[in-house]
Chains A and B, each alone.
Chain A
Amino acid sequence: MGKLEYIVQKAGDNAYPLHLGVDERREVLVLQECPGKADFDIRLGSGAQLDLTVISMACSKAGACAEPRNIVNGFKVNLDSENAVCNLNGVYLVDSGNRVTNKVDMNHNVGHCISNQLFRGILWDSSRSDFEGRIYVAPDAQKTEAYQANNNIVESEQARAHTQPHLEIYADDVKCSHGATVGNKESGELFYMQSRGISLANAKVLLKQAFLLGVLEKISDDDLKEEMSMKILSSLR
Chain B
Amino acid sequence: MGKILEIKNLHAKLKEGREILKGIDLTINEGEVHAIMGPNGAGKSTLSAVLAGRDTFEVTEGEVTFMGENLLEMLPEQRSWAGIFLGFQYPVEIPGVSNTNFMKAAVNEHRKAKGLPELSAAEFIRMMKEKMAIVQMNQSFSSRGVNVGFSGGEKKRNEIFQMAMLSPKLAILDETDSGLDVDALRIVGNGVTQLKTPQNASLVITHYQRLLDYIVPDIIHILYDGRIVRTSGAELAREVEDKGYDWIIKSL
Q: B-contacting residues of A (Cβ < 8 Å)?
A: 188-189, 191-200, 202, 206-207, 209-211, 213-214
Contact = CB atoms under 8 A, between A and B. Distances in A.
21 contacts: A189-B92, A189-B94, A191-B54, A191-B76, A191-B92, A192-B94, A193-B106, A194-B75, A194-B80, A195-B86, A196-B102, A197-B77, A197-B81, A197-B106, A197-B110, A199-B109, A202-B109, A209-B97, A210-B94, A211-B96, A214-B95
B96 A209 contact: yes
Contact of B88 (A192, A202, A207): A192
B105 A213 contact: no
A210 B97 CA distance: 6
B96 A197 contact: no
Contacts of A210: 94-97, 145
Given A188-B92, A189-B92, A192-B88, A197 B113 contact: yes
Which among B77, B85, B113 has the highest number of chain A CB atoms within 10 Å? B77
A192 B92 CA distance: 7
Contacts of A198: 77, 102, 105-106, 109
B77 A207 contact: no
Interface residues of B, number: 30
Interface in B50-99: 52-55, 75-77, 79-81, 85-86, 88, 91-92, 94-97
B101 A196 contact: no
Contacts of A189: 92, 94
B105 A202 contact: yes
User: What 7 A-B pairs have minimum CB-CB distances, sorted nearest first?
Assistant: A210-B96, A197-B80, A194-B76, A192-B92, A196-B106, A194-B77, A210-B97
Contacts of B55: 191
Nearest to A188: B92
A228 B77 CA distance: 30
Contacts of B109: 197-199, 202
A88 to B, nearest CB: 20
B162 interface: yes
Interface string B31-58: 0000000000000000000001111000
A143 B101 CA distance: 40
A196 B162 contact: yes
B74 to A, nearest CB: 11
Contacts of B76: 191, 194-195
A197 B166 contact: yes
A195 B52 contact: yes
A164 B134 CA distance: 50
B77 A200 contact: yes
Which among B85, B86, B109 has the highest number of chain A CB atoms within 10 Å? B109
B95 A192 contact: no
A189 B76 CA distance: 13
A110 B38 CA distance: 63
B188 to A, nearest CB: 18
Which among A189, A193, A196 has the highest number of chain B CB atoms within 10 Å? A196
B75 A206 contact: no
B102 A193 contact: yes
Contact of B94 (A193, A197, A199, A200): A193
A49 B106 CA distance: 41
A118 B80 CA distance: 37
Contact of B91 (A192, A199, A214): A192
A211 B96 CA distance: 7
Contacts of B162: 196
Contacts of A193: 94, 102, 105-106
